[in-house]
Amino acid sequence: MSRLLIVDGHAYAYRAFHAIRELRSPVGEPTNAIYGFVKMLEKMRQAVAPTHLLVVWDGGLSAERLAELPAYKAQRPPMPEDLRSQLDGIAGYLAAAGIASQRQDGVEADDYIACLSRLAAAAGWYVVIASSDKDFMQLVSARIGLLNPNDKTGVIWESGQVLAKTGVAPEQVADWLALMGDAVDNIPGVPGVGPKTAAELLNRFGTVENLLLRLGEVKSEKLRQALHAAAEILRRNQRLVRLPDVPCEFAAEKLAVRAGDPGTLRRLFAGWGFKGMLAALDAPGEKQAELI
């Protein structure tokens, strides 16, 4: 079975940038995000052993979501300049290592990854999404798993892990997020409804639609009134948190794991001062394969 590893590019670039606080090239340029990204990707490849691999980058905020909620993700600070200056370096590494990289203007990485995952799963592939973004839990199925970097066990999440984390099944995750909101994306939920209450409501009523139809069965008057007042907010939140079908290119031949270019990698590593990676390139067998 073909196994596709899809990496949430910006998420891992940020993660690498903050994990290694200070690292610079021989000429003083920041390289901490590049180094961390390469090492994280190497670790993921060893864990997943993909036949196909793709890094997806954000193409900007969704116009549809911004129309629904102008404050969508508005609280996020701008990207640090020392990180922004390293993105071209990461892209250069991916090209030299033979790893596909895609970005589509106006399409958020989450939506593009969802599109590719569904197409690959429908084609009979097994997909592993590497990201800590909880939105991806709604995609988990028999053919789509989630590699969450916050889970130190390294286990690829299936429905059991999603249930343990949220209290609901993967197909209920979008409604779970709609009820409680998502502070990371600046999406307000129903006042007084947190993860536990949202899970309890969905375990009883199944879906937000059923919950709204059967509000009279909610025992707490305060909660019942809050849900009634937030009915339109709930429906809006469903549209915000669901990962829709967007145009994406699923070309198997472009995603296949390919041999890298040792000469270009050697030049890049030397310029960045990555002595250990240079030594690995000149080492035989598996150690060299880790980087190319």
pLDDT at 291: 54
CATH code of the domain made up of 170-241 = 1.10.150.20
Q: Tally Cβ neighbours within 10 Å of residue 180.
A: 23
Distance CA 259, CA 156 (A): 25
Chosen CATH of 3-165+244-289 out of 3.30.420.40, 3.30.360.10, 3.40.50.1010, 3.30.70.360: 3.40.50.1010
pLDDT (tens place) for every residue of the chain, 292 residues total: 899 999 999 999 999 999 998 999 999 999 999 999 999 999 999 999 999 999 999 999 999 999 999 999 999 999 999 999 999 999 999 999 999 999 999 999 999 999 999 999 999 999 999 999 999 999 999 999 999 999 989 999 999 999 999 999 999 999 999 999 999 999 999 999 999 999 999 999 999 999 999 999 999 999 999 999 999 999 999 999 999 989 898 999 999 999 999 999 999 999 999 999 999 988 765 555 455 4
pTM of whole model > 0.95?
A: no
pLDDT at 282: 82
Domain coordinates of the chain in residue numbers?
A: 3-165+244-289, 170-241
Judge whether 3-165+244-289 and 170-241 match in fold: no
pLDDT at 292: 46
Cβ pair 192, 222 in contact under 8 A: yes
pLDDT at 249: 87
Cβ pair 89, 23 in contact under 8 A: no
Distance CA 63, CA 160 (A): 34
- What b/e readout covers 18-53, taking b as 16+ CB neighbours within 10 angstroms? ebbeeeebeeeebbbbbbbbbbbbbebbeebebbbb
